[in-house]
């Protein structure tokens, strides 16, 4: 797994308090990992901080799964 994926996974595990093996490529933050709307905002802010990038609101809306996040950040970072 790439370095970016590892770092994203670490943030998700820490923030949502979920088991690492639950954070799969297709795992939805809200449907599978128990995030609420505020969690998703916090995750996006944590990604921005960790990777030093800006994630605009319309892009943030498309980040639904762990895989989406890794893909977006890999392209932006």
Residues that bind another protein (CB under 8 A): 36, 38, 42, 45
Closest CA to 63 of 43, 49, 38, 33: 43
Least distance from C-beta 37 to another protein, angstroms?
Answer: 9
Residue 67: phi, psi to the nearest 5? -60, -40
CB of 11 to another protein, least distance (A): 12
Nearer to another protein, 5 or 51 (CB): 51
Q: Is 32 exposed, middle or buried (0-12, 13-18, 19+ CB in 10 A)?
A: middle
Nearer to another protein, 45 or 77 (CB): 45
Residues designated catalytic: 36
């Amino acid at each position: 797994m790439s370095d970016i994926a590892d770092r994203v996974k670490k943030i998700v595990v820490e923030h949502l308090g979920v088991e690492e093996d639950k954070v799969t490529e297709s795992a939805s933050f809200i449907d599978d990992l128990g995030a609420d709307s505020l969690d998703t905002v916090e995750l996006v802010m944590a990604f921005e901080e960790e990777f030093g990038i800006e994630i605009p609101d319309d892009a943030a809306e498309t980040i639904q799964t762990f895989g989406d996040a890794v893909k977006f950040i890999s392209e932006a970072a």
